[in-house]
Chains A and B, each alone.
Chain A
Amino acid sequence: MTDSALLWYLNRATGTVLLIVFTLVVLLGILSTFGNAGRRVPRFLTQALHRQLSLLGVALLIAHVVTAVLDTFVDIRWWQAVVPWWGSKYEPLWLSVGTLSLDLMALLLVTSLARSRMGHRSWRAVHVLGYVAWGAAVAHGFFIGTDYQSTWPKLLTLACVVAVGLAALARSVSVLVHRSHTRLERSLR
């Protein structure tokens, strides 16, 4: 295998693993908001797993970006990893979507490291953007290149989207139910 082909395969491999890892990170994040103490897996473990997996994701993301830039087959420059669209030659739209995802994830990383200095409300306002970062990553992975024409990438992407979709739906329902309970109780007073 030539150097270029190796870099290309590494890029796609890291991309595929990233899809799974980031989907798991989002699912763990949603899962940690459910239920109460006394469940089988302690919450602090779910939280720790969410954190460790997201750091693994960051490491893989760096590898994913490096392989893309070093690969001479496609013309992707260093700055295009963080600055969307500017001077982009290779698939500018979907690459930019990936860049957006990376930028958001960088923001999430920085704010989570500085969480205790931020106050919970501001931290949470930023952290919710994680959904957008994940969605952008999925779209970037699906539409960039030609993989979306094959079965396995399609199924994998579908599985990830359905999983997060269901979890997010369950979370929204629980939030709305809690809010309507609170409103009902207030009105009964």
Chain B
Amino acid sequence: MKQIDVREGPRLLAGYDEGPGLTAHRARYGPLPDLDATTLVRLAKQWDIRGRGGAGFPFAIKLEGVAGKRRPVLVVNLSEGEPAAHKDAALALGRPHLVLDGAAVVARALGATLVHLVVPGENPRVVRAVRAAIAERSDTRLFTIHEAADRFVAGQARAVLELMAGRPNLPVTAWQPEVFDGHRGRPTLLSNAETWAQVAVRVLRHDEDAPDTTLLTWDGETSPMVAEVVEGTPWREVVPLDGPVLIGGYHGAWATPRMLAGLAVDRDRMKQTGVPIGAGAVIPLGPGECPVTMTARITAYLAGQSARRCGPCLNGLPALADAVAAVAWERGGVARVEHLQRMVTGRGACTHPDGTARMVGSMLATFPDDVEAHAHGACAFALDAQRERELVAR
């Protein structure tokens, strides 16, 4: 298990080095206030927190969907199936009570008697940290733990609900969003760990005027780094702009240094640009890689992570991986890749194939020169990188 380098931050990661204990947490943040449902929904709309799990769905809409309903179910998703993201692990190891407070305040407001925590089964450090944090609290009995399988799709919403129902941790078809028909048919509010922490920090600090922040993971060659970044910070102040990066995670989108030089860490703006921040992972090229070869590697990984329940994904993703590999190393054509992107999109119980196809499409759209070079058995990348560096430095 890699050591995660977590930097202190202004809100969620303030005083991170003080440790995960409850005493230090209460000393810094004070007691958890009680809020009623109406106030909480109103505040949530003001805060306008976007989900931090990848889809960026407005938390207030989910909250409103379950508030006032009978026996709502709350789920905290700490499973972090995205290999390049480590922010949820960072929260679990250093700031667990922020996550738990966020869920607790909502549970109390909505009258929910149980909060389900989904933890990564393959990461015993995180699981132990979460159990220890729960044990320290007076509302220990509010929480129950489910250990997710070691899979990319284990954190998908329906896969999580399947795990909670005692079935294999794999996606199934959702005929309705889980806010309407979730765990055992009950209205279910399922959100990422960081989202719950964002709720907590606003409730505890009453600092609505403070700027929004987001947790990013830099998944570099050495140990990954997690940092809290204030929204609006220019990318050049956050990551080294010496090469293209994949932003969001393995289902994310590619960005060149030139693109990032003019952009800031701003969820809405990045989404408009076509490079959403998603789960906040920022992945640079691996050693000796170019965007085409790295995309081929990631697509092969994602193909292997198919739940193998849906024909188009089971067959289509390996075919897509082969087609991208052919582009990278065998002078293969782009037409086959584009055909397979279409064949796997919208034809599955979950969006694992869609996300994969989107990431591949982002590579094709962002690096046409490199793709063209590979079609002739070369790689434009070494040349491009030098040119980019010069342009950004100007």
Contact = CB atoms under 8 A, between A and B. Distances in A.
- Say if the two chains contact directly (CB < 8 Å): yes
Interface residues on B, range: under 10
A130 B262 CA distance: 69
Interface string A27-69: 0000000000000000000000000000000000000000000
Interface of B: 304, 308
Nearest to A189: B304
4 contacts: A182-B308, A185-B308, A186-B308, A189-B304
Nearest to A182: B308
Interface string A159-186: 0000000000000000000000010011
Contacts of A189: 304
A188 to B, nearest CB: 9
Interface of A: 182, 185-186, 189
A185 B304 CA distance: 10
A83 B29 CA distance: 74
Nearest to A188: B304
A182 to B, nearest CB: 7
Nearest to B305: A189
A186 B308 CA distance: 9
A137 B304 CA distance: 48
Contacts of A182: 308
A182 B308 CA distance: 9
Contacts of A186: 308
B223 to A, nearest CB: 26
B314 to A, nearest CB: 9
A98 to B, nearest CB: 41
A147 B68 CA distance: 73
A9 to B, nearest CB: 53
A183 to B, nearest CB: 11
B158 to A, nearest CB: 18
A186 B306 CA distance: 10
A111 B304 CA distance: 39
B319 to A, nearest CB: 14
A96 to B, nearest CB: 40
Nearest to B318: A185
A113 B358 CA distance: 43
A185 B308 CA distance: 10
Nearest to B304: A189
B261 to A, nearest CB: 40
A185 B315 CA distance: 12
Contacts of B308: 182, 185-186
Contacts of B304: 189
A26 to B, nearest CB: 28
A2 B288 CA distance: 96
A122 to B, nearest CB: 16
A182 B309 CA distance: 11
